[in-house]
Amino acid sequence: MRSLRTFMVGASFAAGLLCLASTAPAQAGPSGPTACWDEAYHGDDFGSGSNCGLIHTITAWDNEADGHGVRVEYFISSDSSMHTVRDSDGSAGDGETDEYVDGTGWITQFRVCESTEGCSNWRYLTT
């Protein structure tokens, strides 16, 4: 019975490590991005991008009630234009999300920008 319990504890620990590894932020390394989901911050303002499911999403959240709107600038694989999703009310609250159905393009990179306050670094995603 003890060996079964030891096996179950070990398996749970390994599964936990696997979950942590799969949610690590994407980093653009020598071979490119390493995750299908990532987030970026500019102060407390937040943006996230996901290519992990059949619906690809990009979200902008204004988490600061400072009068500065927030936007997330991003590129998708099916064209070379920069796209933008905005949470422009300048007050903490609900965010805004754009969605793409799998097959219409995936999000390649994004960054969070606060009006008149600059932008975060670019974050890169895989599919």
User: Rounded mean pLDDT of 1-23?
Assistant: 36
Helices H / strands E in the chain, number of each: 1, 9
Return the pLDDT at 93: 75
pLDDT tens-digit map of 98-125: 999 888 889 999 999 998 889 999 999 9
Look at residue 96 in the predicted model and tell me its pLDDT.
Answer: 94
Max distance between CA atoms of the chain, in angstroms, equals 63
Q: Which residues contact 93 (CB under 8 A, 6 or more apart)?
A: 62, 87
Q: Is the per-residue pLDDT at 26 higher than 50?
A: no
- Length of the chain counted residue by residue: 127
Predicted confidence at residue 21, as pLDDT, reads 38
Compute the distance between CA of residue 104 and CA of residue 56 in angstroms, rounded to an integer. 9
Query: Strands, E, within the chain: which ranges?
Result: 37-42, 45-50, 55-61, 70-76, 82-87, 96-101, 107-114, 118-119, 123-124
Q: Is 24 a residue whose pLDDT tops 70? A: no
* pLDDT mean over 58-85: 93
SS3 39: strand
All domains in the chain, ordered by first residue? 2-124 (2.60.40)
Distance CA 104, CA 9 (A): 43
Please state, rounded to an integer, the average pLDDT across all residues of the chain.
Answer: 78
Q: Is pTM, for the whole model, over 0.85? A: no
Q: For residue 97, what are the β-bridge partners? A: 59
pLDDT > 70: what percent of the chain?
A: 73
Closest CA to 59 of 110, 122, 24, 119: 110
Closest CA to 60 of 45, 43, 44, 78: 45
Report the percent of the chain where pLDDT is more than 90.
52
